[in-house]
Amino acid sequence: MENNWEPKILAFLCNWCSYAGADLAGTSRIQYPPNIRVIRVPCSGRINPLFILKALQSGIDGVLVSGCHPGDCHYLSGNYIGRRKSATLKRFLEYIGIEEGRVQFSWVSAAEGGKFSQLVYEVTEEIKRLGPAKRFVKNRV
Amino acid sequence: MDERLKKIQEKIREKSKELLSKKRVDLIIGFSNWTLPLRTTPVFIRTPEGTESLIWNSFCENNLATYIHKFNRFRVGIVVKGCDARSLTALSLEKRFNPDGIFLIGVPCQRMVDRRKVARAVKGEIIRVEERGEELLVEGEEFKTVLEKRDFLYPSCQVCIHRTPSQAHFLADDPVEEFPLVETHPEVDVFEKKPPEERWRYFESETSRCIRCYACRQVCPMCYCTECFVECLRPKWIEGGLNPQDLQFYHIVRAYHQTGRCSGCGACERACPMDIPLTYLTQKLNQDVKELFGFEVGLDSKTPPPLSTYEVEDKGDFIK
């Protein structure tokens, strides 16, 4: 059982960059682990911290939030706003005792299919090392 | 009664009377005596004669800024400490009231006394309390003791470095010297150094006591949403009942919503009937906001709240 465990990772990808990046990875036939479930959001600034918390509470092992590189936001400043929210939320969750690495953030542009694949490998590897989420889990999805 | 506090009390009454009789404000929000010792109650005064019931002592712990939401259509005079004034500045940035309609009667705060600590320090019921300078004279039916006020202060008051409400229109006393009694928030510093497992266990056990009375939310001046996320039905973020994970969810989000908005007055912790140490969460957020964005709540009425703005140069080293 332990050996067969595969993490469930929820990925919030911004419509304009990261989602297109994931799409590029797909059309270019670049492989990446099937552990991520993608939710497309308009912008990384759209991520309400409640989304991340609800995911963790529902037994998701890791959350990945990905948006456009700084300066590339379709809405000009969405990812900057998102960055401030992410920075404070990440620190706060680690402070109360959620493992570092459960919630991850990245910038992936529409042209970075390769980077996206690399990123999913890294994130999956890291969350595999952390093991199944136990803290804050209400019921496993 | 203590001379300084008496002088402040007189000044508050005098000024309130003047404001009401000159019709400069419609009502005064202040503190009045409560039937129990160690307690005061907020009062709302509309007539110049009523101002005689206003008081000032070391138990005026509520953050009166909370009431501005109910009276934001009136011209209001509020008795404020340093923390209350900073909450009001933060609220004015969020456009919760018209700053011209408000008159701040500022009191340079002497730091508030923790009534629970006092009650724990003596055996039996306290009947009368008197303040004498730095000392508290506590009387019960069978005892009479003198306590050092310094040992019985609220944690949030011990670290306070904004005791004088500099934004106030009128100060009831000379500004006090600003210095913390304890260097940084003691709980946060100790807590941060513990391993994550221990931190989580602490958070888990503290929040498990919560009975979801929402007193922490009600007393907080910054919690004013007409629909709070806990009552939101679509999507339903949190279910009813006392499921431990739902309690954790509530406490994470309640604290996180204060990011860059909390003045650190500690009203949430004082209101908690279950003694949950809520300020260890909000103080951490305040420290983070100061460290990351160089922002402190309520110091000026121009700088926007940190999460509603951005700098291109913000740190992003945690992002892959």
**Given an 8 Å threshold on Cβ–Cβ distance, is B284 in contact with A92?**
yes
Contact list, A136 vs chain B (CB under 8 Å): 245, 248-249
User: Closest approach of chain B CAs to the CA of A47, in angstroms?
Assistant: 13
Where does residue A132 rank: exposed (0-12), middle (13-18), buried (19+ CB within 10 A)? middle
Nearest to A105 among B237, B288, B320 (CB): B320
How far is Cα B304 from Cα B301, in angstroms, rounded to an integer? 8
Length of chain A: 141
Q: Report ipTM for this prediction.
A: 0.94
State how far the Cα of A90 lies from the Cα of A101, in Å rounded to an integer: 9
Distance of CA B317 to the CA centre of its chain: 34
In tens digits, what is the pLDDT along chain A, a chain of 141 residues?
567 899 999 999 999 999 999 999 999 999 999 999 999 999 999 999 999 999 999 999 999 999 999 999 999 999 999 999 999 999 999 999 999 999 999 999 999 999 999 999 999 999 999 999 999 998 876
Q: Of A81, A90, A99, which has the smallest distance from its Cβ to B318's Cβ?
A: A90
Task: Show residues of chain B in contact with A135, CB under 8 Å.
Answer: 200, 204
A43 burial level (CB within 10 Å; 0-12, 13-18, 19+): buried
Q: How far is A103 from chain B (nearest CA, A)?
A: 11
B203 vs A97: CB contact, 8 Å cut-off?
Answer: yes
Tokens, residue A2:
């332990």
Say yes or no: B295 contacts chain A, CB-CB below 8 A. no
Whether residue B180 has a cis bond before it, omega within 30° of 0: no
- Give chain A's contact residues with B (Cβ, < 8 Å): 49-50, 53-54, 57, 70-71, 77, 80-81, 83-100, 104-107, 119, 122, 135-138
Look at residue B191 in the predicted model and tell me its pLDDT.
86
B-chain residues within 8 Å CB-CB of A104? 320
Chain A positions in Cβ-Cβ contact with residue B191 (cut-off 8 Å): 95
Q: Does B291 touch chain A (CB under 8 A)?
A: no
Tens digits of residue pLDDT in A80-106:
999 999 999 999 999 999 999 999 999
* pLDDT in 10s for each residue of chain B, 320 residues: 788 899 999 999 999 999 999 999 999 999 999 889 899 999 999 999 999 999 999 999 999 999 999 998 899 999 999 999 999 999 999 999 988 889 999 999 999 999 999 999 998 899 999 988 889 999 998 899 999 998 999 988 998 999 999 999 999 988 888 888 887 777 788 888 899 999 999 999 999 999 999 999 999 999 999 999 999 998 999 998 899 999 999 999 999 999 999 999 999 999 999 999 999 999 999 999 999 999 999 998 889 999 999 999 998 899 98
In chain B, which ranges are E strands? 27-33, 40-45, 76-80, 102-106, 126-132, 135-140, 144-148, 170-171
